[in-house]
Amino acid sequence: MSDVQQQIESNPPLQVVFQSNAINLLGLDRAGMEDFFTSIGEKKFRASQVMKWIHQLGVTDFQEMNNLSKDLRTRLSETACVENLKVAQDQISTDGTRKWLLQLMDGNFIEAVFIPEDDRGTLCVSSQVGCALDCSFCSTGRQGFNRNLTTSEIISQVWLAAHLLEEEKKPGRKITNVVMMGMGEPLLNFDNVVRAVRIMMDDFAYGLSKRRVTVSTAGVVPAMDRLGDIIDMRLAVSLHATNDELRDELVPVNKKYPLKELMAACRRFIDKQNARSRITFEYVMLDGINDQPEHARELVRLLKGIPTLMNLIPFNPFEGSGYRTSSKRAVVRFRDILHQSGMTTVVRKTRGEDIDAACGQLAGKIEDKSRRHRRFAEPRFGME
């Protein structure tokens, strides 16, 4: 922990008080908010007013919303709330990456990460408590699965990050992109994720453009089709292997939706989007497993005809993973083969390593309901 620049640890809450029965407005998209106001006998335009207060101005107390009548403010206090997750731990890495451990109402913990780069600030958001997919090289998977996050719990990560970054009052510390690449498989929490994405893109909320919000999937084919049908946004696909035999082992959901079906779904997704779009593929580089020149050549053949942005991710090791990071030489050799084929390829920089904030290192602290990996599910944060 010595190279952690700053560590702000709040005392564990003795008791977190949550209002019961009140509807949490944080998780309503525009349509939901309009329905809510209609249901209490108000005009629809209240929806955009209140969304602006909550998401853009960071106001959570209805009494401060001074373009609403006194009567409406009182009624809102009685029927609704704006309730965020509790920040249990807040860490900043030496490279500027900032990670939050957030406590949910049921006592589980999830993580969200802000990654600053020269021209952008990316927030990596969790979609589930743990993950059910059990990819062999991912520490979130090792923790097992508890439940889906609600829309409010997803959006709260954005709300908290936006407002805590603003408090830093430093240039370049603003969310310009959101990637659903934290804990969980977003497409297995479809409705809540789509609602959250709509809030991220709403001009009265975070106003992010459709090219700046990415959902990442391990390849849940029917949900990829549904997503393509209803929303225009970026899709990232965690590929990691170029043949079914290896992918079955690394990404077990491949047994259900093998590569041929996955590639067909990628093509269908692209066809539904506008002409400029392409799919981001993620490929974790595992020493001696999937990083050989023949794998690179197989990858080129597999992705032929699909507009691709290839992200090569150096494997981030964790205890007991059984994998090693590919050598720099192997990564460069692999990248060069892809480049030569004309594929746009970037080697993702590992960020926030000193605070365990890198890809696949997000672990939160969850009660595993699947009991799949009990021996791994020990809490990493001594907070009890």
Q: Which chain residues interact with ligand SAH by CB under 6 A?
A: 135, 137-138, 181, 185, 216-218, 238, 282, 284, 313, 315-316, 359-360
How far apart CA 307 and CA 210 sit, in angstroms, is: 17
138 is an active site residue: no
Give CB contacts under 8 A, 24+ apart, made by 60-69.
60/84
Distance of alpha carbon 20 from alpha carbon 79, whole angstroms: 10
Distances (CA, A) of 186 to 147, 223, 230, 257, 279: 12, 10, 15, 16, 16
In the complex, the smallest distance separating the C-beta of residue 348 from ligand SAH, rounded to whole angstroms, is 8
From CA 176, how far away is CA 156, in angstroms rounded?
Answer: 16
In the bound complex, what is the minimum distance in angstroms from residue 113's beta carbon to ligand SAH?
Answer: 11
- Nearest of 315, 318, 314, 316 to residue 376 by alpha carbon: 318
CB of residue 135 to ligand SAH, shortest distance in Å: 6
Q: Specify whether 111 is catalytic.
A: yes
Return the residue nearest ligand SAH (CB atom).
Answer: 360
Exactly one of 81, 124, 138, 359 is catalytic; name it. Answer: 359
Q: What is the sign of the dihedral through the CA atoms of 185, 188, 192 and 198?
A: positive
Nearer to ligand SAH by Cβ, of 53 and 137: the residue is 137
CA distances in angstroms from 174 to 163, 212, 384, listed in the order given = 9, 13, 33
Could you tell me the smallest distance in angstroms from the CB atom of residue 160 to ligand SAH? 20
| Nearest CB to ligand SAH, comparing residues 116 and 314 | 314
Q: What is the smallest separation between the CB atom of 313 and ligand SAH, expressed in angstroms? A: 4
Which residue, 341 or 350, has its beta carbon nearer to ligand SAH?
Answer: 350
With contact defined as beta carbons under 8 Å apart, do 334 and 155 qualify?
no
Are 128 and 215 in contact by the 8 Å Cβ rule? The answer is no
Nearer to ligand SAH, 83 or 134 (CB): 134
CA 32 to chain centre: 22
Choose, from 42, 111, 153, 185, the residue flagged as catalytic: 111
Judged by CB, which is closer to ligand SAH: 148, or 216? 216
Contact 139, 126 (CB under 8 A): no
Annotated catalytic sites, by residue? 111, 359
